[in-house]
Amino acid sequence: MASISRQTSGRWQAKVRKVGFPLRSKTFATKADAEAWARAQEREMDRGAFLPTDAAERTSVAAILDRYILEVFPRLAGEGKNFHANMARMKAEIGGISLSALDPSHISAYRDKALTLVSAQTVRHDLGLLSRALKMAVIDWGIALPRGLPTALVRLPKVPRSRDRRLKSGEEAKLLRAAEVYGGEIGDIISFALETAARRTEIASMRWEHVDLKSRVVTFPETKNGEIRRAPLSPRALEILKARKRDLGPVWRMRPDSISQAFERVCAKAELEDLRFHDLRHEAVSRLFEKGLNTMEVAAISGHKTLAMLKKYTHLRAEDLAAKL
């Protein structure tokens, strides 16, 4: 049964009571609006389609993103911090919208605006984070979304073809010569990356406690997928580390951003165009395949979780395959 009453403020309050359902109440500016809302609630209860939307109405998109950051990001090891910018961008644009009002049009508008500021891949990461936060709100936090999962009805932007930049003949030698002139650790870091297929953040976070020179193994406790990875050390990688041998503490003094900046300057000095530090990982993975290692062996070294992810970073030279045939 629904009851409509006028409050001292002049607004109209509607209350809906039905056995088996929680009490529902809401205030409106007019009696007609209150009555219409009450009838709609009763219809939903009668046909078994009622969903309590109180929590969704009083919870904003920003609130669930903040809770997701608080509860989920600590479990993402070193990678959680990389997503803070994504969350901040979404909160600035759609954070004030309640979950009950959020619909695909809001998210599509955010997508289109974000594409003018960041890459398509970054926007895909944004929408993926939002989708996971909304699913967690429904499954783990008990917040019903009256409009369903709005991200499911939003097209993801297409990403450009993955990079296939590999080192051409003579480029590695030019790069290392320029690194030697530049000085510091960057030359050894470049060589280490080519030998191990390690990511920039993994290299920068290496500590001597995680290096076993006797077993020729390095442990990366903080990886992109949040899992610990143990990788073998090639003779050249082992040589680089032995020349720097310490007992405790960081293996390298350079931070991830410092590595990128130094690499850009070395590339400029070597007159190499369109080469990024992450391309060294592409190059290293491809070289592992060219040495004859199988997919599982390469994945164990590089840390890729699926063949599709591994293929994205693998570009075998047709000339090398022809020679092998």
- Give the angle 209-212-213 at the CA atoms, nearest 5°: 125
Q: Would residue 315 show up in a list of annotated catalytic residues for this protein?
A: no
CA-to-CA separations, 73 to 65, 88, 257, 277, 322, in angstroms, rounded: 11, 14, 21, 26, 46
| Active-site option among 224, 229, 282, 287 | 224
Exactly one of 111, 199, 200, 287 is catalytic; which is it? 199
User: Known catalytic residue: 182?
Assistant: no
- Here the tokens at position 22 are 């929680």
Task: Please name which of 136, 142, 145, 122 lies closest in space to residue 69, comparing C-alpha atoms.
Answer: 136
Active-site residue identified among 89, 229, 287, 304:
304
Residues, the chain = 325
Which one is catalytic: 200, 281, 282, 287? 281
Active site residue 39: no
Closest CA to 298 of 285, 281, 314, 315: 285
Question: Which of 31, 177, 278, 312 does the annotation list as catalytic?
Answer: 278
State yes or no: is 106 an active-site residue: no
**Which of 141, 139, 148 minimizes the C-alpha distance to 104?**
148
Which residues are known catalytic residues? 199, 224, 278, 281, 304, 313
